Structure 1
Amino acid sequence: MAILVMIMRKMIKNKWLELSLLLGLIISVGLVSSMPIYTSAILQRLLIKDLEQLQTNNQQYSGIFWNSVYLTGEMKPEQAKQEIVDADAYMRDVVAQRFQLPLKAYVTERSTDSWKWIPVDASRNDSKVNRTANIAALSGMDAHVRLIDGRLPSAEPVDGAVEAVVVDQGLTNLKLVVGQQYKIEDDDAKTPLVVTIVGVIDRKSYDDLYWYSALSSYNSSLLVAYDWFEKAITQEQQLMLRSSSWYMAVDYSEMKLDSIERFINNYQRTEAYFSNTFTNLSIKAPGLKTLTGYYAKEEKLRLMLWSLNVPVMIMLAYYLFMVANLIVDRQKTEIAVLRSRGASRLQIVMGYVIEGALLGGIAFVCGPFIGLMLTKALGASNGFLEFVQRAALDVRLNEEAFQYGLYAVLCSVVMTLLPVIFAMKATIVGHKQQMARQSGLSFWHKYGIDVVLLAISLYGLYTFRRRMSDMQALGLDVTDLQMDPLLFLVPALFVLGASFLVLRIYPYLVRLLYRLGRRWWPPALYATLLQVGRSPTQYQAIMVFLSVTLATGLFSASAARTINNNAGEKIMYSNGADIALQLKWENDAPPPDMGGEGGGGDPAEAQAVVPMAPKKVQFSEPPYLPLAQLAGAETTAKVFTKKEAAFNAGKEKGTVTLMGIDTDEFGQTAWLRDGLLEHHFNDYLNLMAGNPAAVLISESMAEQHSLKVGDTLYVSWSGVESTMFQVYGIISYWPSWNPNPLFSDKSAVGSNNTSSGSANAANNKKVKDPMLVVGHLSYMQNNMALEPYEVWMKMKPEATSQELYQSIEDKKIPITKLVDAKQELIRSKNDPFLLAINGVMTLGFIISMVISFCGFLLYWVLSLSGRVLQFGILRAMGISFRQLVLMLVGEQLLTSGAAIGIGLVIGNLTSRLFVPMFQLSMQTTSQVPPFQVIFDPRDQLQLYLIVTVMLGTGLLILGTMLSRIKIHQAVKLGED
């Protein structure tokens, strides 16, 4: 108890340091515990979105769970009856309960064999019609149908006849009449069953989840009351029960991540149960494939979150180490005295362990709730440092969050104990000697940790560059490549190593500056240069901390901006403009299979027909003017593209993509990033505008076929005569055209990316270099053919997609295809991995700035309070208050200012070296335009603003503290 009281008193004595340490612990625990919360929340959102998309694509509800059995003659009737009853109970009481989700529909369906039916009234003229139908029943059908004619069937026979209804098409197919009676004409039937057709039905609602099968599947069925079927067929076996199916639709909008495992287990258990009981069975769950892929997505997202948070964690770990080191520095005399008086190392360490446990316990309780708040902030991120009012993430604390929080507490406490372990090595004499000599090397410099970190990071950079070079040279597509954690760890190591390396050199630069002007420096600057030059280890902690945090923040900003910008540019480039749409063109092409085997006629006559040349299809161009008048449209352009056109130029031949444009409209509408072409985009359009036969060709085409400006070439396609063109320019990129090489032989692509694998792949020709010819659309239409073209559209800045869609609908324009780049951008920003990048990078940047400010302020306040005697003596010697302030300003510029400058330089250098490596996580062949590192001036401005506020606040606080120093108290303190 006495030890605990002593520890509490010591903590109260150093309350500001302890609170700073607690702040770092809480942020660390909150950051780490936010990972499982965010992973669960983002996967939860992705799960529902994917199931909704699956439903849209398949036109089938994604929450369906359906299974069916077919009873064969191998199973005895009594056994079959019992197994069906047991299966009913299993599905109703076991399967439906295991989902733990609301049921939107639950249907049991039964059917018999198909029988031949004849009218009971033999005098009817349709008695010889061959009609075959089964008897079927669906539980709860009455509530989900509407009557077209007649009424619904009774659950009991009427006048000895069973009542049934049919679907509308079944009435026609079976040639039945409502109100007439029919009987089974088959000697195998145990009971001569008579059925009265009492009505015709249709679905009550076509979006009703009750119906698993389309009504057309009941075209050969007589639908009877389910209660009668269960009693007469299932129980009494008046006719042989042939099949039974169970269908349920669970509310997938209520699915949580733990529902995935239950759903999959339910499917597997149900399949096993029915496989052991029935010979022929079928089980379907449309959403199963989507759900089974979530384990891989979860693992990939979790790995990515860890990767993204590596730099911030390193920065937080260093912050904890720095604050703990400041605490221990103030207590080194106490530790040395305890050691000299017989206290063991274990006893001293245990005291700090108890202190760490107290702080860690508070962080463990508060941290996960901080993590919950951080996750909500992550969900609102729409880009780096951009937030929108999107639907809130379904965030909730879970057991895993507290588990991660506990791990973070343990690791953080270990970091705070390291300075204690280092401090116990010194005796009281050694400690006094160390205080007098602060010019020695730090631990990092003494053992060359900075050089080691730089060597590791540069080797990682070399490895990444070699891998990326191999993929780009061979046109490899890395669609499924997971985010490599080293993409974030290696830059963090580079930042740390570079900061320590610069600070190894920095004291020598300060000393050189001192010697160069020591005859002319004023007293304040003279004293500052001496102080900083002779005590490098005193300032090293804060300088490394500031440079690392600012470099990390700048790298995070550049990485996020780059990934977002390149993802957006990739969408815009591939689409070519804001909107790309295709109109419906009328043509005179014959219907499919016309004159073929399915077209009727005598096969012998068909064989005798002499094959004729394919008829050239004539197209009718739809009106173009209404498109230019659509709401929100600023400009429009016609763009004709022929993928498989043939060209020849002298002896050179090949296949090329031909694009026809109107230069003026195209230049106003199309999108192309500046700097991709040797000259401005519009210069090329102006160049070819004067000659109708002028074309631009791709660089790949010019190199492979030795073409140059001024050459003539001929282009054609199937059914179209060759037309002459003249080369007016050579381009390397063009809107919507991908110039990257593509593999034509997938087998040539090995699983590794080593240089030997690359050489082997290169030997087997697998890479195709795409080629492009761009010419005038009007020239092609007049001299070659009029064929369907796309219409590209540039939207007004304030226009919305909804306005455009509504305008298209109002004008009844027949659109067969529409790609909206704005909607594609929105979808890309909702991608969980891009959300993770934006959210975590934003969070990392903010944490870096907050921690940097706290660390800066804490260090200088404590530093100043520890130098009260020095400043008091300087004031007693005649140094004015203004000169003292100048000394502080000089010291700040030489330490904090220099550290900030170092951090900005290292951050820029790290971004330029390592951000391009993020291409490894994207599709190499489809990343057009080329990957470009982005530095947003807004991020630099925010950094400068934060730095200015930080330095200004620090100087204000330090100046205030200086003004309160009383000379007689400082001198008295020195005497004591």
Structure 2
Amino acid sequence: MALLKIIFQKMWNNKWLTCSLFLGLFITVSLVSSIPTYTSSVLHKLLVKELEQHQIDKNHFPGEFSYITTFEKDQNSVEATKKIADINKQIISNTDLPLLANKTILSSVPFDIFNENKTETDKHGRFVGLTDVEKHITITDGRMPAEKSEDGIIEVIVPETTLQKRGIVLNTPLIAVEGDLELTVKPVGTFQAENKNDPYWSIPPERYTDDFIVLEDTYREVFFKKELLSSARFFSAFDYYAIMNEHIPSLLQLKDKVKADVSDVVDTPVMVQFPISDILSSYEKKEEQLKTMLWSLHVPVLVMLALYLFMVSRLIVNRQLTEIAVLSSRGATRFQIMKIYLIELGILAGLAFLIGPYFGMLLCKILGGTNGFLQFVQREALPVSLGYESYLYAAVAVISSVFMVMIPVFQGSNQSIVHQKQNMTKAVTKTRWSILVLGLALIGISIYGLFVFNTRPPAVSQDYSVDPILFFIPALFVIGLGLLILHLYPLLLAGVYKLGKRYWNLSLYSTFIQVGRSFNQYQFLMLFLMMTIGIGIFSASAARTLNENFEQQIRYENGADVTIDVKWPSNEVAASTVSSSVTSGEQPTEQEGETSEENETLVTETQLVYSEPSFEPFLKMKEVEHAAKVLKFDGIRAEAKGKALFSFQVMGIEPKEFAQTAWFSPNLLPHHWYEYLNLLSQEQSSVLISRSVSKALGVKEGDYIKVEGDYTNTMEVVVYGIIDYWPSFLPEKKEEDEEAPALIVANLPYVQNAMGLEPYEVWLKVKKDASRKDLYQSLDETKDPIIMMSDVHPDLVELKNGAFLLGLNGTLSLGFIVSIIIAFIGFLLFWILTIKSRVLQYGVFRAMGIPLKKLIGILLFEQVLTSGFASFIGIIIGGITSVLFVPLFHLSMEQQLPFQVIFDPSDERKIYFFVALMLSVGLTILVLLVKKIKIYQAIKLGED
């Protein structure tokens, strides 16, 4: 108890340092514990969406798990069914998932069904027992069967379609015969599913048309006793909304578990159905990828937190070195001294362990609301919940943090008073060569990684994922370059000092002396600032580059915000009827054959006549900013210079409207794409061709190409420009044996005059503030039948809500905010303690007559030469890191467009704002502290 009292008293005497240490532990535990929490939450959200889509696409409940086993005649089917039922109950309970339905379908051997007088056979039938069937049906005619069979008559219910198919009526007895066994059956009611969407009816009632449904109790009473079972199907419908990541391994083992356990009971094969097993197995891999990426993104922040904890711990130990030396001189062992600090640290770490994971849940919600680097939007909150894995990660974080904090304690716990004085003397002139070695090693590792990635072939996967090492290596480069500069900076500082030694004023002279002689004490703070700003600038550039490249790829492939195919009225049906009447007559004679062929050709031509619907409704929509007509011909033939090209695409456009509507990045072509459209406007017969057309036909600007469509439609065009990219045109072939895609862009009126009127697509540019709901409603009001519509907005939303970009944007944004907070606290803590330790020095300066302005000037210059210099170097390091490492991200992405490294000034301004705010607030607090210093305090301190 006395020891705890001493520890709490010591913590109170150093309450600011203790709070700072606790804050570092708390943030570390929160960040680390948020990794599994976020992974589980975001993958659960994506899994539920994918399962919902599976249900829509397949019209099949995705939570179904069922298996069926058959029985041989000489096998004890009843006993086997009971054993399998127990196995099924145990297996399903082990999944720890709520069930929406759980039933057993028991089927008898097939019976011959006769009318009551046995005069004629009425096909075959089985008797089926369904668990709790009466709770899931509605009787449409008749009544429910009696609970027990009376007079040997088995009452059954059947689907409505059974009566018509078998030609029977309700309450008419039937005879069921199987070998020597004869049963009397009476259908007493027809039924239908109470709710067609009930997972219970994975096999709909219509599938039981050839069967007779018997209540479960009656079934067991009659068919179990007579050993008439043919098969048993065990069905479970899991609530897939409750499936979390921890459930996936057990769900994936269900198939093998069932087959292994049931095979011990019956020899016949077990057929298992679990439609979503492939979806679930893919999420195990996604979980590992996401965790790896989050760890790699958190590494720089965790390194900063480790340095922060080390710095705070060292400050605590340095302030208490005298106490430690006294204890050591009086006989206290190193273990006893470390025990005091370990208990103190255990109290803080235990508190952080208890509340840190809950704060980690809040961090996960912040992650789910990001839309870019330091961009937050209103979005449906992630369904976060704490699991055992979160506390496991928190425990690892606590143990690692305690180890990091105890290093300075271990170093200082064996110092006597003599050792303390000797170390204080050596600290003035000691040079840390280890900093140089570590910095060069980290730079070497990162440069080697850069070389390895530059020699790696691009990815072939279309998944949105990035190698997490691409975030880890740049962090090493930032730290390594920062350490190298920290080692060289004292030399630079000494050189500048000597150059202007005769000219420096009092403030600068004093600052150069102070920083030059005690530079070691500034290293941690300066490294903090370099890392925070450098990694922040790299993170902003990486996030912006990846977001923009993914988004541009989607916009480019779609061509515009919305593309629509509208059904055009035509005479196709009428022409087909005429064609049928001509070709279905008698065979033409030899003399009539030519006339018949001409008639068929004429009919075929008439069926291609279309009537153009009005385009005005699209222009008048209040949600639409611009609209354009885009005609696409496929399967066209072109000739030039004796060469021919088949199966390419012709795009007919109106240049001005197309420029206003389509999306296209100006950086994709040598000149702005408007200049190419201006070329089309100069001459109606001019075209733009893809480079693949130019190579295939051997043509260049100014050459003519003959384009042939179906039948006799032809046009001659002149090449005005060669392009590599064009809205919605994908220039890369997907398979090695495919021909390179080819495109000719021409003027729409010219194409229509030469090739005839054909249905064109409608491209829309939607206003930024327009609601998609209002847009779709306006499209419905046009009353033009829409065959196909492609809207880029849902794809962009899905992209932003995906696990990869959510994790990337959220982690980078959160990491930078945490880094700024840690750097600010470290900055403030360092300088407050520094000023308090210099009260005597500043008091002597004031007593010597140095005015307060000069004293503040000394502090300001000291800030410039340390924090200011570190911030400036951080900006440079961040820029260099971005230029070197951001281009590597294209290796993990497969896309049609060339990869572009994007620097957005708005992102960097946010970083500069945070840093400027931190330095301004910190400097203001320091100035206020200096103003409060009184001369008598310095004199009293000197006397002490």
Q: How high is the TM-score relative to the length of structure 1?
A: 0.85
Matched residue, 2:811: 840
- Tell me if the contact between 2:709 and 2:755 (Cα under 8 Å) persists in the aligned partners: no
Q: Displacement of 1:465 after TM fit?
A: 2.2
In the other structure, the counterpart of 1:870 is: 841
Tell me how far apart the structure 2 counterparts of residues 229 and 718 of structure 1 sit (CA, whole Å).
Answer: 68
Correspondence for 1:905: 876
Which of residues 889, 901, 913 in structure 2 aligns to 1:933?
A: 901
Worse overlay, 795-804 or 937-946: 937-946
C-alpha separation in 1, matches of 2:167 and 2:707: 61
Task: Work out whether residues 340 and 427 of structure 1, in 8 Å CA contact, stay in contact via their aligned partners in 2.
Answer: yes
**Distance (whole Å) between structure 1 residues aligned to residue 16 and residue 814 of structure 2:** 25
Q: How many residues align?
A: 921
2:156·2:213 contact (CA, 8 Å) conserved in 1?
Answer: yes
Identical counterparts, % of pairs: 40
What are the equivalent positions in structure 2 for 1:539-578 lying under 5 Å apart? 539-578=522-561
Shift in Å, 1:785? 5.7
Secondary structure in structure 2 of the residue aligned to 1:66: strand
Moved more, 321-330 or 424-433: 424-433
Contact 2:641 2:698 (8 Å CA) reproduced:
no
Counterpart in the other structure of 1:253: 241
Taking the TM superposition and a 5 Å limit, the aligned residue runs for 1:84-99 are 84-91=81-88, 93-99=89-95
Which residue in the other structure is 1:510 paired with?
Answer: 493
- Indicate the residue corresponding to 1:82 in structure 2: 79
Counterpart among 771, 775, 783 of residue 746 in structure 2: 775
Shift in Å at residue 453 of structure 1? 1.2
My pick for the range that moved more, 482-491 or 571-580, is: 482-491
Find the counterpart in structure 2 of residue 235 from structure 1: 225
- Aligned pair in 2 of structure 1 residues 181, 656: CA closer, same or farther (>3 Å)? same
Counterpart-to-counterpart distance in 2, 1:254 and 1:181:
47
> Partner residue of 2:830?
859
What one-letter code is carried by the residue in structure 2 that aligns with 1:806? Q
Range moving further from structure 2, 529-538 or 193-202: 193-202
CA distance in 2, matches of 1:586, 1:84: 62
1:459 to partner: Cα distance: 1.3
Distance 1:23 1:643, change over 3 A: farther
Greater shift, 151-160 or 132-141, is seen at 151-160
Q: 1:328 to 1:190 in 2, by over 3 A?
A: same
Residues 961-976 of structure 1: pairs in structure 2 closer than 5 A:
961-974=929-942, 976=944
CA deviations on 1:414-457 (whole Å, 9 max, x unpaired) are: 22233345557987667546645666465355652111111111
Q: Deviations over 1:671-717 (max 9, x none)?
A: 11232222322222222124333221224544565432112223456
Which letter maps to 2:444?
A
Partner in structure 2 of residue 270 of structure 1: 258
Name the residue aligned to 1:759. Answer: none
Paired residues of 2:526 and 2:870 also in contact (CA < 8 A):
yes
Deviations 1:188-211 (A, max 9, x none): 543444545555544343323231
Deviation at 1:386, TM superposition (A): 3.2
Q: In the alignment, is the contact (CA less than 8 A) between 1:68 and 1:243 conserved in 2? A: yes
Amino acid at match of 1:489: F
TM-fit CA distance, 1:139: 3.9
- Relative distance call for 1:443 and 1:504 in structure 2 (3 A) is closer
> Given that residues 444 and 500 in structure 1 are in contact (C-alpha distance below 8 angstroms), is that contact kept between their aligned partners in structure 2?
no
Letter in 2 for 1:731: I
Q: What amino acid does structure 1 have at the position aligned with 2:722? A: I
Answer whether contact 2:334 2:414 (CA < 8 A) is retained. Answer: no
Deviations 1:483-530, CA, capped at 9 Å, x for gaps: 433222211111111112222333333334334433333222222233
**Which residue of the partner structure matches residue 760 of structure 1?**
none
1:455 to 444, 450, 454: 444
Distance in 2, matches of 1:229 and 1:720, equals 74
2-structure distance, mates of 1:172, 1:691:
72
Residue by residue, what CA displacement relative to the aligned partner does 1:867-906 show, whole Å, maximum 9, x if unpaired?
Answer: 2222222222221111111121111112111111111221
Q: Secondary structure at the match of 1:728?
A: strand
**In structure 2, what is the equivalent of residue 402 of structure 1?**
391
Tell me the secondary structure at the aligned position of residue 572 of structure 1: helix
Inter-CA distance 726–367: structure 2 relative to 1 (3 Å threshold): same
Correspondence 1:12-91 to 2 at 5 A: 12-73=12-73, 75-76=74-75, 79-91=76-88
Q: CA deviation at 1:855?
A: 1.0
Question: Which deviates further from its counterpart, 499-508 or 354-363?
Answer: 354-363
| Cα distance in 2, alignment partners of residues 215 and 780 from structure 1 | 57
Q: Does 2:719 align with 1:727?
A: yes
**Would you say the 8 A contact 2:625–2:764 is kept in 1?**
yes
Residues 1:158 and 1:808: Cα distance change in structure 2 (over 3 Å): farther
Helix, strand or coil for the counterpart of 2:722? strand
Letter of the structure 1 residue corresponding to residue 762 of structure 2? V
Mapped partners of 2:33, 2:637: distance in 1? 60
CA contact (8 A) 2:353 2:394 kept: yes
CA shift, 1:59, in A, is 0.9
* Structure 1: distance between partners of 2:140 and 2:632: 51
Match of 1:369 among 355, 358, 361: 358
In terms of mean alpha carbon deviation, does 956-965 or 221-230 score higher? 221-230
For residues 308-338 of structure 1, give each alpha carbon's deviation from its aligned partner in whole angstroms, at most 9, with x where no partner exists. 1011111111112222232333344555666
Task: Return the match for 1:380 from 369, 376, 386.
Answer: 369
Specify the SS of the correspondent of 2:630: strand
CA distance in 1 between partners of 2:433 and 2:335 (Å): 26
Residues 435, 483 of structure 2: 8 Å contact kept: no
Question: 1:492 aligned to 2:466?
Answer: no
Alignment of 1:206-225 (within 5 A): 206-225=196-215
Q: Give the direction of change, closer, same or farther, for the CA distance of 1:84–1:948 in structure 2 (3 Å limit).
A: closer
1:736–1:161 distance in 2 versus 1, CA, 3 Å: same
Query: What SS class does the counterpart of residue 669 from structure 2 fall into?
Result: coil
Unaligned 5+ segments in structure 2 are 585-592
- Is 1:581 matched with 2:564? yes
Q: Name the amino acid aligned to 2:203.
A: S
Note closer, same or farther for the CA distance 1:524–1:818 as it changes in structure 2 (3 Å cut). same
Q: Which AA in structure 1 matches 2:77?
A: A
Amino acid aligned to 2:624: A
3-state SS in 2 of match to 1:210: helix
Deviations 1:15-58 (A, max 9, x none): 32232122112111221122222222223323322222221221
TM-superposed deviation, 1:351: 4.7
Task: For residue 293 of structure 1, give the secondary structure of its aligned residue in structure 2.
Answer: helix
For residue 886 of structure 1, the aligned residue among 857, 860, 868 is 857
Give 1:403 deviation, angstroms.
2.3
TM-score where L is the length of structure 2? 0.88
Task: Decide whether aligned partners of structure 1 residues 443 and 361 sit closer, same or farther in structure 2, where only a CA change above 3 A counts.
Answer: farther
Change (3 A) 1:634 1:851: same
Match of 1:820 in 2: 791
Tell whether the 8 Å contact from 1:583 to 1:622 is kept in structure 2 after alignment.
no
User: 2: CA distance between counterparts of 1:9 and 1:134?
Assistant: 84
CA distance in 2: counterparts of 1:336 and 1:405, whole angstroms = 34
Aligned to 1:106: 102
Please say if residues 118 and 175 of structure 2, whose CA atoms lie closer than 8 Å, have aligned partners that are also in contact.
no
Moved more, 877-886 or 136-145: 136-145
Q: Please say if 1:794 is aligned against 2:794.
A: no
Quick one: distance in 2 between partners of 1:365 and 1:155?
Answer: 57
Determine if contact 1:440/1:537 at 8 Å carries over to the other structure.
Answer: no
AA aligned to 2:623 is G
Deviation readout 1:933-961 (Å, 9 max, x if unpaired): 33343333333333333222223222222
List per-residue Cα deviations over 1:585-638 (Å, max 9, x = no partner). Answer: 67749999xx9xxxx9xxxxxxxx99x999677374673534445563333333
CA 1:233–1:539 in structure 2 vs 1: closer, same or farther (change >3 Å)? closer
Gaps of 5+ in 1: 601-608, 746-766
2:927 equivalent in structure 1: 959
Contact 1:673 1:929 in 2 (8 A): no
Give 1:543 deviation, angstroms: 1.4
Query: Judging changes above 3 Å, is the alpha-carbon distance between structure 1 residues 164 and 582 closer, same or farther for their aligned structure 2 residues?
Result: farther
Is the Cα contact below 8 Å between 2:704 and 2:717 reproduced in 1?
yes
